[in-house]
């Protein structure tokens, strides 16, 4: 997954960070994105395609089924 391979430099280039266009906390932001990429490897929550929506969709479907059964 691309997020796990993200670097601070690549994020800075993508966000067009420069001396005239600074961004506070760039290292922390890139670290958070890298950790998100690592977390998405959990197939129990995110499925084999590593989609965050898989987790939310599953919970929504279960909750809706429970509500309809009541």
pTM given for the model: 0.68
In the chain, helix, strand, coil percent, each to 5? 65, 0, 35
Where are the strands (E) in 1-70, listed by range?
none
pLDDT at 59: 65
- Tokens 């001396």 identify what position? 19
More confident residue, 55 or 52: 52
Where exactly are the structural domains of the chain? 1-39, 43-70
pLDDT digits (tens, 9 = 90+) for 24-45: 999 999 999 999 999 888 888 7
pLDDT at 46: 80
pLDDT at 45: 76
pLDDT at 8 exceeding the cut of 80: yes
């Amino acid at each position: 997954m691309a997020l796990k391979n993200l670097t601070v430099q690549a994020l800075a280039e993508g966000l067009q960070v420069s001396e005239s266009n600074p961004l506070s906390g760039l290292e922390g932001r890139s670290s958070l994105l890298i950790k998100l990429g690592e977390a998405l490897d959990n197939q129990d929550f995110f499925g084999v395609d590593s989609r965050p929506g898989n987790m939310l969709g599953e919970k929504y479907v279960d909750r809706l089924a429970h509500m309809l059964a009541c």
